[in-house]
Amino acid sequence: MLVALRKLLPTFLAALILLTGPAVARADDTPAIFPLSQVQPGMKCVVYTIFTGDQIEKVDLVVLGVLHNAIGPKQDIILVQLLGEKVEHTGVVAGMSGSPVYYDGKLVGALSLKLGVFTKEAIGGVTPIENMLDVGKAPELPANLSASAAAVSAPTTNTGNTFSASRIPLPENFAHQTSAGSGQFLVPIETPLISTGLYPETIAQFSKQLSGWGMTMMAGGTAAATPEDAQLKPGDMVGVELIRGDLSITPGCTVTTVDHGKILACGHPIFSFGNVSMPLARAHVVTTLASAMASTKIITTGGTIGTLTQDRVTAIAGHLGEGPPMIPVDVTLVSGDAQKQFHFEVIESPQLTPVLVAVATYNGIVGNTAYGEGSTLQLDGEIAIQGHTTVTLKDLFAPTDMPVPGGFFVATGVQSIFAQIYSNPYEIPHVAGIHLRVTALPERRAATIDDAWVEANEVRPGQTVNVKVQLRSYRGPAFVREFPITIPIQAARGPLQLVISDAETANRTVQSLTASSQGQLPGLEELIKLMNRTHQNDRLYATLLQPTPTLMVEDKVMPNAPASAINVLDQRQSPGGARLLYQSTAGEWSVEMHQVISGERTLTITVK
pLDDT one-digit tens code per residue, 297-350 = 888 888 899 999 999 988 999 999 999 999 999 999 888 788 888 899 999 988
What letter represents residue 337's amino acid? D
Average pLDDT, rounded, for the chain = 81
In angstroms, the CA 447 to CA 90 distance is 56
Q: Residue 144 pLDDT > 50, yes or no?
A: no
Higher-confidence residue of 347 and 579: namely 347
Residue among 595, 592, 587 nearest 483 (CA): 592
User: Could you tell me what percent of the chain has a pLDDT over 70?
Assistant: 76
Domains of the chain with bracketed CATH: 21-324 (2.40.10.10), 327-441 (3.10.20), 446-607 (no CATH)
In angstroms, the CA 281 to CA 301 distance is 7
Residue 555 and residue 522 in contact, taking contact as beta carbons nearer than 8 Å: yes
Q: Residue 413 pLDDT > 80, yes or no?
A: yes
Q: Residue 580 pLDDT > 80, yes or no?
A: no
**Exposure on the CB side of residue 452, measured as CA atoms within 13 A:** 25
Q: How confident is the model at residue 522 (pLDDT cuts 50, 70, 90)?
A: confident
Q: How confident is the model at residue 69 (pLDDT cuts 50, 70, 90)?
A: confident
Higher-confidence residue of 442 and 182: namely 442
- Provide mean pLDDT across the span 577-585: 64
Q: What angle, 0 to 180 degrees and rounded to 10, lies between the N-to-C axes of helices 353-366 and 406-422?
A: 160
In angstroms, the CA 391 to CA 377 distance is 20
- Angle, vertex CA 384, rays to CA 383 and CA 389, nearest 5: 105
Q: Residue 411 pLDDT > 50, yes or no?
A: yes
- Provide mean pLDDT across the span 342-367: 88
- Angle, vertex CA 356, rays to CA 369 and CA 408, nearest 5: 45
Q: Residue 126 pLDDT > 80, yes or no?
A: yes
387 torsion bin: left (phi>0), alpha (psi -120 to 50), beta (else): left
What letter represents residue 131's amino acid? N
Q: Provide the pLDDT for residue 64.
A: 93
In angstroms, the CA 89 to CA 103 distance is 24
In tens, the pLDDT along 7-46 reads 444 444 444 444 444 444 445 566 799 999 999 999 999 9
Q: How confident is the model at residue 275 (pLDDT cuts 50, 70, 90)?
A: very high
Q: How confident is the model at residue 142 (pLDDT cuts 50, 70, 90)?
A: low
In angstroms, the CA 304 to CA 309 distance is 14
Contacts of 508 (CB under 8 A, 6+ apart): none
Higher-confidence residue of 264 and 13: namely 264
Q: How confident is the model at residue 549 (pLDDT cuts 50, 70, 90)?
A: low
Report the range of poorest mean pLDDT among 157-161, 207-211, 367-371: 157-161
Q: Residue 465 pLDDT > 50, yes or no?
A: yes
In angstroms, the CA 422 to CA 432 distance is 13
